[in-house]
């Protein structure tokens, strides 16, 4: 437990210091949300209607973009080998690393989403719903993404492979995240049904992700 805590603190520290690039994801998120009205036109009604979807797509892409750093830096400087040889179970290590990654890339997206919701003309209800669904849903993206990150880490040409592998796995999260947000913004479906399924998806990916990612790391590092 102590080593996992140390790993968590180390990862968060590395991410927030110079060269860590923790806030790069938020910047990308902001850029995507700013770009969308240029493509769709400045119609505030339209933006309010599809705002939750824009925010979710932006958050999905932003968290995907940061994923390749999850293991790559450790692989480059050799600390990944040390971690693999350590006594802490690899599954828990992956879970701790993913938690640190979410704290530094996923959580900032959640915190930034209300402000971006404002410029997309969302009302207070919808802003709260988007923030709540992102808070619950982005861990699922990170933990599902660990599988792709672990598969791609040892590859020299893994760059585009990661999103290709991870994106299909994130479809359920996207569906239920946007559905719950839209429901709160005034739909016909209840908010609770998609939201609880979103919670279930997150819990499931927290279980499946570390196991698959640990297996992928073991297979890749041999």
Q: Whose Cβ is closer to another protein: residue 6's or residue 81's?
A: 81
Q: To the nearest whole angstrom, how small is the minimum distance from the Cβ of residue 198 to another protein?
A: 10
- Rounded Cα distance, 91 and 152, in Å: 17
53 interacts with another protein by CB under 8 A = no
Residues 166/145, Cβ–Cβ less than 8 Å: yes
Q: Provide, rounded to whole angstroms, the least separation between the CB of residue 164 and another protein.
A: 5
Q: Is 61 an interacting residue with respect to another protein (CB under 8 A)?
A: no
Asked whether 67 and 145 are in contact (CB, 8 A), the reply is: yes
171 sits near another protein (criterion: CB under 8 A): yes
Count of other CB atoms within 10 angstroms of residue 28: 19
Residue 70 as a binder of another protein (CB under 8 A): the answer is: no
Looking at residue 185, what DSSP letter applies? Answer: T
Tokens of 212: 């698959």
Burial track 81-118 (b if 16+ CB lie within 10 A, e otherwise): eebeeeeeebbebbbbbbbbbbbbbbbbbbebbbebbe
Site size for another protein, by CB under 8 A?
27
> Is 30 a binder of another protein (CB under 8 A)?
no
Of residues 147, 184, 185, 206, which one binds another protein by CB under 8 A? 147
Instruction: Report whether 185 contacts 60 (CB < 8 A).
Output: no
Under the binding rule (CB under 8 A), the answer on residue 155 touching another protein is yes
Q: Which residues in 178-217 contact another protein (CB under 8 A)?
A: 179, 189, 197, 201, 204, 208, 212, 215-216
Where on the chain is the footprint of another protein (CB under 8 A)?
147, 151, 155, 157-158, 161, 164-165, 167-169, 171-172, 175-176, 179, 189, 197, 201, 204, 208, 212, 215-216, 219-220, 222
């Amino acid at each position: 437990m102590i080593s996992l805590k140390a790993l968590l603190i180390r990862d968060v520290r590395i991410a927030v210091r110079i060269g860590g690039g923790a806030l790069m994801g938020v910047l990308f998120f902001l850029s995507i949300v700013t770009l969308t009205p240029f493509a769709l036109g400045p119609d505030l009604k339209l933006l309010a209607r599809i705002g939750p979807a824009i925010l979710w797509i932006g958050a999905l892409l932003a968290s995907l973009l940061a994923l390749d750093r999850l293991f790559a830096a450790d692989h480059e400087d050799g600390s990944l080998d040390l971690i693999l040889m350590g006594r802490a179970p690899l599954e828990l290590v992956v879970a701790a690393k993913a938690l640190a990654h979410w704290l530094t890339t996923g959580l900032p997206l959640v915190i930034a989403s209300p402000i971006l919701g404002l410029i997309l003309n969302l009302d207070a209800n919808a802003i709260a719903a988007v923030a709540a669904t992102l808070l619950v849903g982005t861990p699922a993206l990170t933990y599902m993404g660990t599988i792709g990150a672990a598969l791609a880490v040892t590859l020299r040409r893994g760059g585009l492979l990661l999103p290709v592998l991870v994106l299909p796995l994130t479809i359920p999260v996207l569906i239920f995240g946007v559905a719950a947000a839209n429901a709160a913004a005034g739909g016909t479906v209840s908010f609770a049904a998609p939201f609880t399924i979103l919670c279930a998806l997150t819990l499931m990916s927290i279980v499946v992700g570390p196991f698959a990612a640990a297996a992928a790391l073991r297979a890749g590092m041999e």
